[in-house]
Chains A and B, each alone.
Chain A
Amino acid sequence: MEAPLIQVKDLVKYFPVKKLFITVGQVHAVDGVSFEIMRGETFGLVGESGSGKTTLGRLMLRLLTPTSGDVVYNGRSIFELEGGELKEFRRRAQIVFQDPYTSLNPRMTIYDILSEPINVHKIRIPDKREYIVKLLETVGLGEEHLYRYPHEFSGGQKQRIAIARVLALRPEFTVLDEPTSALDVSVQAQILNMLKELQSEFKFTYLFISHDLSVVKFMSHRIAVMYVGKIIEVAPSDDLFSEPLHPYTQMLLSALPVPDPKYTRSKQIIKPRGQVPSAISPPPGCRFHPRCPFAREKCKAEEPELREVKPSRLVACHLYS
């Protein structure tokens, strides 16, 4: 089997919580996460807001330094890279942010925005202008947009520009952090299709982050479910939906309204109970146990590990031990 492109090894990121300059606690944003992403794969990451998805994505691009743990990219730890190697990593690994309204500098024209990565990495191309126009055409825009400012574009167009900026460097790996959650469904469809087409054309590897289960299912080959800083289940996309193993995944799926009145009104519902616990002092044992309908004594005391319980199905739950 092929070696994975990225290995995340027991990654931990705590943010200090300060009150009047004194640290009073720590947000356990990412708390011991391990997984691997294969080359050419779309790895989906779902979870409710605050579960640590963005933090994990930023760690994997070294936009944050971890509290502990490691990210190995192509066999090298990204936190050890320096100078030219770091720059090369910055070229190969890219990110598209959630909010297209703020991810483009309002004082730069599209031409400037798209030429920045080319200038920074001194990419040699015969005609820069032509290259940029081609990039724009790849994402469905055109030459007439070259000298416009971001505010002249709609949200969907801005997100296309942000994607073009990433494409300029021909990266291998891209973190897509909720790239369509600020967009309307008809525009979302355009962007999602485009991302899929780009992937098959350029053999990209994606980490696709979203809180929207149906979007993640559409995009991903494999999906990891996150809950309060931990990954609690990893499964191939279809399997996760046909047979969710972790009680939290089951709860998420049953809470999801499906645009099909007959189905959604007849499906079995596990009523969501309680609230997401604070990431500052997560519950001991399994983090989900206070809300879990199947919780046992063991769940309160002992933290379950993410283990393979069936071929290619990983789950962190004592029910399966």
Chain B
Amino acid sequence: MSRRDEILRIEDLYVHFYTYAGVVKAIDGVNMSVLRGETYGLVGETGCGKSVTMRAVLRLIPPPGRIVKGRVIFNGVNLLELPEEEMRKIRGAKIAYIVQDPTAALDPLYTSGFQVAETILAHEENVGKKSVWERVVSLFKSVLIPDAERRVKQYPHEFSGGMRQRVVIACAISEKPELLIADEPTTSVDVTVQAQILEVLEDLKKTQEMTMILVTHNLGLVAQICDRVGVMYAGSIVEVSDVFRLFEEPLHPYTRGLLNAIPHVTRTQFRLEPIPGTIPDLINPPPGCRFHPRCKHATGICKREKPKLREIEPGRFVACHLYRGD
């Protein structure tokens, strides 16, 4: 993989959940590389392991989950080996994480401005009360909340879903993080609100020189704002490409299947092409390539051997036996 100024690199990550029903092999050898300044899209269907991968980066895997193996290199440092104390300084300050549900992320008992101020105070000492408050107001302005001076004094329940998500974003960017991970930031809001939130995120990215990982299951979003895309299926990344070539000529059969399965407003379709079958049980995943039971190109080797993510064209990676060069 290209080493061109990587900000984050995940190597061979495995995360398992130890449940009564069995060991859930949720993340199975994820390799991923995010370049400084880009917007990286991580797409995949529900349960494929997008959130778990991102939580592993921040070492926030809830029990009974555990990182079994792997390295998460952020600015040259392996985060998985850092002491907890150091890690806490990175969370929120260097890497910020926005979760899907803005309601759960805010405490209903405090004003929204106070909650943003609190994140600032948690990471910085010796800041004056007044300067913090001024910063909160300017943060509210930077996430395009109208009437910011008044809004900072309001409680979360006085905000609409889209406005709450903006407050959550304001919290996340309060320390000017280098990397912003947005985990389905617009899944619970409507398209017009989504457009407004995307505008905020793109605006911030430009003005603050952030790198962003956008986690989503919405291919339209990816097409709209991402530079490069990683497609995830059942715990591994199956394809990485720049966004234009991915949509023009998807390589992995799963990516192709996904693109054929969605309705397009720009086309007239009479039938969609669903991907047959269902996502596999991650306690007893299929051997070899985890997609092979649903793949119409599967051959003997797909059942035996898990394909590695390999670069087959400059900047295009795919984990599929169909593309073995030799």
Contact = CB atoms under 8 A, between A and B. Distances in A.
Does a CB–CB distance below 8 Å link A and B in the complex?
A: yes
A77 interface: no
B261 interface: yes
Interface in A210-247: 211, 213-215, 217-218, 238, 241
Nearest to A291: B192
B178 to A, nearest CB: 26
B148 to A, nearest CB: 15
A154 interface: yes
Contacts of A241: 265
Contact of B220 (A187, A190, A259): A259
A152 interface: no
28 contacts: A157-B278, A185-B217, A185-B258, A185-B261, A186-B257, A188-B262, A189-B273, A192-B263, A214-B220, A214-B265, A218-B269, A218-B272, A238-B268, A241-B265, A251-B192, A256-B220, A256-B265, A257-B218, A257-B225, A258-B223, A259-B222, A259-B223, A259-B259, A259-B264, A261-B223, A263-B266, A264-B223, A265-B223
Contacts of B221: 257
Given A214-B265, A258-B220, A258-B266, A186 B162 contact: no
Interface string A268-308: 00011001100000000000000000000000000000000
Interface stretch (B135-143, B193-201, B317-325): B193-201
Contacts of A157: 278
Contact of B262 (A49, A259, A275): A259
A255 B191 contact: yes
Contacts of A218: 263, 269, 272
A193 B274 contact: yes
Interface of A: 48-49, 154, 156-157, 184-190, 192-193, 196, 211, 213-215, 217-218, 238, 241, 251-265, 271-272, 275-276
Contacts of B217: 184-185
A172 to B, nearest CB: 23
B224 interface: yes
